Amino acid sequence: MALAREESSPLFAGTVAGTLRLILYLALAMVLMVLDHRNGWIWRLRYATSVVVEPIYHLAGLPAAGMRTLSVAFADRKRLTEQNQRLREDLLLANAKLNRMAAVAEQNQRLKELLDTQHSLELNVQLARVIDVDLGAYRHRMLLNVGARDGVKAGQVVIDAHGVMGQVVEVMPRTSLVMLVTDPDHAIPVVIERTGLRTVAYGVHEGDQLSLPNISMAADVHAGDKLLTSGLGGRFPPGFPVGEITSVEQSPSGMFLEGRARPTADLDRSEDVLLLHDLAEPVGPPEPGATAGPPSDLAPAPAPAASSATPPRAADPKPVAAPAAASSTPVQP
């Protein structure tokens, strides 16, 4: 009990011994302060102690520093990933816009070529857009976005900036179907520009070529010759480019030369085309239901009215042939 009481007694008790102890400690503190101020012993001791203690501080702070570094690294990685994703999207969008601008530039160039063709030839044409192309083995057709309500008629010639593409074969209210010159069922009268030789170019199953199967053996035809519309038949106006001969060979029968030509028009690339309205007059018999007769400017003028002073002269009677004798046998019903 006495030991416990001594341990619980204050350091500086209100006794003489406690007062002496306080004075001793204050004197020691003052001496240390003076020595530290003059010689820096305490600072040196603190510096030497910090050299030993600082590694312990760093070691104790490693977990917190590691967690902080990991969190920053993850945050930076996430931010960099998001920025990379945004930059990738911006790059794709920029490329898409660039491709779109290139496509628009090409389309403007094609439209300019079409307008230049219209102005240079001074034709009455109608602009149409291609909405579908069928280049199968047995059909080479093209669908346009204009129809009967836009004034399109069957038989109209379709061209682009480079040459003849075909003719309208079917007209719907809002669309029209075009048979291309390469269709196996299509034929177009042509003339070779260099020599003036007339022939007919047929479509073939290959889809990108024309066939000229009936060329005379003595004809002067070479690869590279230009084919133009001859105007025969009245369907295609003369002078429009059709194709370019690529090869000339002897036909299997040995009686003719057979030529192959590449179409001048961009059959598989054109997006805008022109429909001709100024067509040549058709050559041949009139269509069924057409009224036959001379043109109005060649019709005979009406006879002048007779004068009241001079009576009209009576026509001389003409002898009338006697009717044939009737048969005695009645006609059976």
Q: Mean pLDDT of residues grouped by 10 in the chain (333 residues)?
A: 50 72 87 76 76 80 81 81 85 76 71 65 80 87 94 92 92 95 94 93 86 91 93 88 93 89 88 76 41 35 37 38 36 35
Same-domain pairing of 139 and 116: no
Same-domain pairing of 253 and 175: yes
Please report, for the domain that includes residue 132, its CATH number.
2.40.10.350
Q: At 172, list the tokens.
A: 């719907």
pLDDT of res. 10: 59
User: Which residues are CB-neighbours of 143 under 8 A, at least 6 positions away?
Assistant: 130, 131, 132, 133, 134, 175, 176, 177, 178
Q: At 83, list the tokens.
A: 């920025």
Give me the number of domains the chain comprises.
2
pLDDT of res. 22: 85
What range does the domain containing 192 cover? 125-276
Q: Dihedral of the CA atoms 119, 120, 123, 128 (nearest 10)?
A: -60
In a domain, 266, yes or no: yes
pLDDT of res. 313: 39
Same-domain pairing of 100 and 129: no
Same-domain pairing of 64 and 165: no
Same-domain pairing of 186 and 268: yes
Could you say which of 88, 122, 156 is where a domain stops? 122
Same-domain pairing of 84 and 33: yes
Same-domain pairing of 246 and 138: yes
Closest CA to 161 of 199, 198, 123: 123
Same-domain pairing of 78 and 134: no
In a domain, 267, yes or no: yes
Helix (H) or strand (E) holding 248: strand 241-250
Same-domain pairing of 196 and 237: yes
